[in-house]
Chain A
Amino acid sequence: MKKTWWKILAIVLLVYVHIGGLLFAVPRLRIHETIRSLYFHVPMWFGMTFMFLISVVYAIRYLVTSSKEDDIRSVEFANVGTAFGVLGMLTGMVWAHYAWGLFWHGDPKQVGAAIALLVYLAYFVLRSSFQNQEQRARLSAVYNIFAFASMIPLIFIIPRLYSSMHPGDDGNPAFNAYDLDGRMRLVFYPAVIGWFFMGLWISSLRIRYRALNEKISETEL
């Protein structure tokens, strides 16, 4: 991961996504120009899910190896994932303001996502309530696995049981409606890949920063 090509790729893709997402033509449907939100809102949730997935993998690895590095990786990926989630929530609320007329509509998808974010905020509260580092790492790794297991149904399963106005439900237009429209895919896929690499980059910087901090405090001792 020390190579630079994927960082450059992330920057190039995201510049392209922002220009293309705002300027390229989009199909005229019921939600009009707000469909451009697809390029900015949906990649956030993809990014969040990927980051949480990596975080839970490191949490499981921590339980097996008990190495401090795995714990730091796990918490930093969870941090970046939560940031993606908050951004996804905010972009969704801006979209809802124009499409539904309200920032907070109480749609099942909004509620499910809000609860899922609360689960991860609880994870950070849990971490801050331990003094012993080994204990904190172990118990928060356990809770991380629980959080991931409850995040999946809260975002992907339970909202689908309710009727929702969110695109993709009940015949509202969403990505699948454009299976024949390649234009949107040309921006959407680069956006997902670009944000994924950007998330990796941010978390790898934070992980290195944390590791350096640990080293400094060790040498000072």
Chain B
Amino acid sequence: MGVFELIRKDFLLELRRKSVIAGLGLYLFSLVFICYLTFNLRVNTINAMTWSALFWLVILFSVVNSVAKSFIGERKGVLIYYYTVASPQQIILSKIIYNSALCLLISVSGYILFSIFIVNPVQDHLVFFSALVLGSLGLSTSLSIISGIASKGNNSNVLMAVLSFPVVVSILLMTIRVTKNAVDGIERAASTDEILNLLAINCIAAALGYILFPYIWRS
């Protein structure tokens, strides 16, 4: 089975179980709504830094919830079936691509929800969307691999949180900085360093995952 067939299978399964997508959407919506209520945004305003931090935290929580189940919670029989039909490299690639697509969907809809309920202060859309794309790619790449490791442990959900936090922090710091620059509309040259760093982190995470996943998968 090729990479594309695996991705197609993931999408088909997701579309058939509409409850998962609906649940994820509702989760995202409630998170944004809680932010709206707790910050009392009808009367208050928030500054650029708070907006970007809040935005990425909402995205992070939704993504952790959706990507975590890419290996955790799969039934044992399904895993053995994958094992017989595809190579580990194909599996991790298909998971990374599928999760990135899901993650992009989540972050774009999060952005739409934020602009409806909170504000849409983004001035430089090109920089903002490049942060969005690179951030989603980075988060889904590293979380897919971590979820592969955590699924083998005893208490996978706790393990997932403990293992992913430190890896994700550097990606989040970069994206929040770029987002803040985009919100403030600062000249683009100010964000190039962070964008290049994000790109480098993504490449390292993807390369390490591709090389090391066979060792995680074998068991």
Contact = CB atoms under 8 A, between A and B. Distances in A.
Given A143-B163, A158-B173, 11 more contacts: A63-B215, A122-B165, A126-B149, A126-B162, A129-B154, A138-B216, A141-B215, A143-B149, A145-B212, A146-B167, A154-B170
Interface string A117-144: 0110010011001110001001101110
A157 B149 contact: no
Nearest to A134: B219
A157 B154 contact: no
28 contacts: A115-B170, A119-B166, A122-B162, A122-B163, A125-B159, A125-B162, A126-B153, A126-B159, A129-B153, A129-B155, A129-B159, A135-B219, A138-B215, A138-B218, A138-B219, A139-B149, A139-B152, A142-B215, A143-B149, A145-B212, A146-B167, A150-B166, A154-B169, A154-B170, A157-B197, A158-B197, A161-B193, A161-B194
B197 A161 contact: yes
Contacts of B26: none
A149 B149 contact: no
B149 A142 contact: yes
Contact of A150 (B162, B167, B193, B215): B167
Interface of A: 63, 115-116, 118-119, 122, 125-126, 129-131, 135, 138-139, 141-143, 145-147, 149-150, 153-154, 157-158, 161
Classify the secondary structure of B's interface with A. Answer: helix
Contacts of A63: 212, 215
Which of B155, B159, B167 has the most chain A CB atoms inside 10 A of its CB?
Answer: B167
B201 interface: yes
B194 A142 contact: no
Given A119-B166, A130-B154, A149 B204 contact: yes
Nearest to B167: A150
B208 A149 contact: yes
A212 B167 CA distance: 35
B152 A135 contact: yes
A28 to B, nearest CB: 36
Nearest to A151: B166
A138 B155 CA distance: 18
A198 B170 CA distance: 32
Nearest to A108: B173
B216 A139 contact: yes
B152 A130 contact: yes
Nearest to A150: B167
Contacts of A161: 193-194, 197
A20 B143 CA distance: 48
Which of B197, B204, B215 has the most chain A CB atoms inside 10 A of its CB?
Answer: B215
Nearest to A142: B212
